[in-house]
Structure 1
């Protein structure tokens, strides 16, 4: 079954409101046999209408859309099609929006202008269950998460963290450094399937749904450091 998945192209839906940028993205992606472009849209509203027909694996989404924002699109896609992975395109001065998109369910983000090979690598990573965090923004992202909760309210009681195994803690520490599933498997001398199993256990124990939330909880509860 793994071989069948690996041999099938990843179905990608691209949402970008600037036609020139959209054409450039398509030209970069269509040259790779591992990627199948199943649809495009110039707005979030149009994308949501197309979703049931095109059935993508990965949603490549511009964060700065007109009218309906990329954050709102992310929320609706994850609510209606939770199996679809969302990869955000952003720029440096959208840090707050990136945080909101991640909290809404995005699996990662790329800076606009990222080379084609890095985009393909990122699509494959999120399709495999990973998360893509650019190193240049990772520390600011984590610091921002670490700066919550709201100072205007009384701090909630933090429950005792569910114990992670030594291996799970080691993996979580690697994730905090921006290491991909593939790299973690190599560094820990484990299979990718075992890495995914460990991640599932980490998510369950920390009561989170993705890698960014897991790192955030790990830092907040003192399980790992950055």
Structure 2
């Protein structure tokens, strides 16, 4: 009788320089059987060192603080996305300013959680991400709504320059491979940028993004 393999549990890593916070969060996650507790890092550089010396190392979800020694979480985010395009990055931080929230989301974070939230809420947010969703703490979501209701930047201006380059090439019917060749980057990096762009524009596919471009909503 063939025994079916158990589904792989999502592996959770954390980058947090406050050891007490890091230990409390990871210990609470370990109480839940649907997750695998990974490693804790005190800096972005330590995580990058791990990736460099262990190329097969691949956590599924990364909890990332912003206020870190050395590289900040916001500075490190694009580097992580480039090396691990499939990873889901959840910001877990005390910062709730709209500028930092927008920069994090535009750089590839899928969720943004305030450290004021309970450990139970953090686990619930991780489950939402595992299921393909995105989570924002209520205070964070409120800041985003205020930003757009107050006449903030258009969706076009919060795309990165690289995302706009890629979208412009896609509009001209270039394949992912052609886009990668023209920009001298890997196809996986192209896919990562496109995934982040979809999140920013709140669309589900290339057709919707191109339609926005054609309608003049993205320049």
TM-score category (smaller protein): 0.5 to 0.7
Is 1:147 matched up with 2:152?
yes
- Map of 2:111 onto structure 1: 108
- Map of 2:132 onto structure 1: 129
- Map of 1:187 onto structure 2: none
- Map of 1:87 onto structure 2: 90
User: 1:128 and 1:92 mapped to 2: Cα distance?
Assistant: 26
User: 1:112 and 1:71 mapped to 2: Cα distance?
Assistant: 16
Q: Which runs of 5+ in 2 are unaligned?
A: 158-201
User: 2:80 and 2:37 mapped to 1: Cα distance?
Assistant: 18
- Give 1:4 deviation, angstroms: 6.8
SS in 2 for 1:207: helix
- Map of 1:119 onto structure 2: 122
User: 2:137 and 2:206 mapped to 1: Cα distance?
Assistant: 25
Q: Which runs of 5+ in 1 are unaligned?
A: 151-199, 209-213, 222-226
- Give 1:143 deviation, angstroms: 3.8
Superimposed CA distance per residue, residues 116-160 of structure 1 (whole angstroms, 9 cap, x where no aligned partner) = 22211211222222111222221321443550157xxxxxxxxxx
Asked if structure 2 preserves the Cα contact closer than 8 Å seen for 1:11 and 1:56, the reply is yes
Q: Number of residues paired by the alignment?
A: 162
User: 1:4 and 1:132 mapped to 2: Cα distance?
Assistant: 30
- Map of 2:207 onto structure 1: 205
Query: Larger helix proportion, structure 1 or 2?
Result: 1
User: 2:111 and 2:22 mapped to 1: Cα distance?
Assistant: 19
- Map of 1:13 onto structure 2: 13
Asked if structure 1 preserves the Cα contact closer than 8 Å seen for 2:97 and 2:143, the reply is no
Aligned-residue RMSD, C-alpha: 3.1
Q: TM-score, normalised by structure 1?
A: 0.62
Following TM superposition, where does structure 1 have runs of at least 4 consecutive aligned residues deviating by more than 3 angstroms?
51-54, 92-95
Asked if structure 2 preserves the Cα contact closer than 8 Å seen for 1:30 and 1:37, the reply is yes
Q: TM-score, normalised by structure 2?
A: 0.64
User: 1:90 and 1:144 mapped to 2: Cα distance?
Assistant: 19
